[in-house]
Amino acid sequence: MGDSSSFRPKKVLLKVIILGDSGVGKTSLMNQYVHKRFSNQYKATIGADFLTKEVMIDDRMVTLQIWDTAGQERFQSLGVAFYRGADACVLVYDLTDTKSFDTLETWMDEFLIHASPRNQETFPFVVLGNKADLPTRRQVPAAKAKQWCTDKANNSPHFETSAKDSVNVEAAFIAIAKKALEQEPEKPNFITNTQVVLDANTGNDSSGGCC
């Protein structure tokens, strides 16, 4: 018999950062995708926290290491260390809140400054308009957001999501994984356990709220 290891899928780890204003649903999206759960109770994220999820993309087993960072201005400086080494970035706004959409460019620019990716012109972003379960309170038209993605965010994919109802959540994370893999097809296998622990400890007071 042949070596069974030759049939094992190639493994890759992708570091994904979620950015956006406080309260847009960053933690809720992460928890819905990884744990399939939603909480109505709001709790602000302090510092940064991450969850992991394995998905099969084509012939590769991909571990998504998803970093959720605080949206409040006083905590933004804590996120700088977490931007480094990112393979993709998810920009989240609340489609019922125009201000959260207007700040997306600031978040994107801040990320590019601190992460300093070598591929700034083609870096993988995905833009999510969350709270699609509240259509009567919509303030940001989908067409406006898609145009922004075309003009400002490297023609990034755009999804309207509901962390509450799990609408487009999985599709959005699969899209960011595929986009990141296109950029780095030969990315090394994993981050070591030691590195993950060090990164996690840097975040300090992790939380599981819904921001």
| DSSP three-state, residue 51 | strand
Q: Tens of pLDDT along 12-44? A: 999 999 999 989 999 999 999 998 876 665 555
Domain membership of residue 26 (yes or no) is: yes
**Among candidate residues 52, 86, 83, the one with its CA nearest the CA of residue 70:** 83
| DSSP three-state, residue 71 | coil
DSSP string, 30-55: HHHHHH----S------SEEEEEEEE
Q: Beta strands 60-69 and 48-57: pairing type?
A: antiparallel
Domain membership of residue 197 (yes or no) is: no
Q: Tens of pLDDT along 183-209? A: 865 454 444 333 443 344 444 443 444
What CATH number is attached to the domain comprising 131? 3.40.50.300
What residues make up the domain containing 159?
12-191
Tokens of 71: 């949206």
Q: Rounded to whole angstroms, how far apart are CA atoms 99 and 23?
A: 12
**Phi, psi of 10, rounded to the nearest 5 degrees:** -65, 140
Domain membership of residue 180 (yes or no) is: yes
Instruction: Please name the amino acid found at residue 23.
Output: G
Q: Tens of pLDDT along 161-181? A: 999 999 999 999 999 999 999
Domain membership of residue 199 (yes or no) is: no
Residues 6+ apart with CB under 8 A from 135: none
Domain membership of residue 143 (yes or no) is: yes
**Phi, psi of 58, rounded to the nearest 5 degrees:** 55, -120
Domain membership of residue 211 (yes or no) is: no
Span 65-85, average pLDDT: 69
Q: Tens of pLDDT along 87-122? A: 999 999 999 999 999 999 999 998 998 888 988 889
Domain membership of residue 198 (yes or no) is: no
Taking CA 121 as the corner, what is the angle to CA 118 and CA 122, rounded to the nearest 5 degrees? 85
Contact 142, 160 (CB under 8 A): yes
pLDDT at residue 157 tops 60? yes
pLDDT at residue 74 tops 60? no
Domain membership of residue 207 (yes or no) is: no
Tokens of 136: 């009567």
Residue 25, number of CB atoms within 10 A of its CB: 26
Span 68-85, average pLDDT: 65
pTM above 0.85, yes or no: no
Total domains present in the chain: 1
The predicted pLDDT at position 83 comes to: 82
Percent of the chain with pLDDT over 70: 72
Edge-to-edge strand list for the sheet holding 125-130: 48-57, 60-69, 10-19, 88-94, 125-130, 158-160
The predicted pLDDT at position 75 comes to: 47
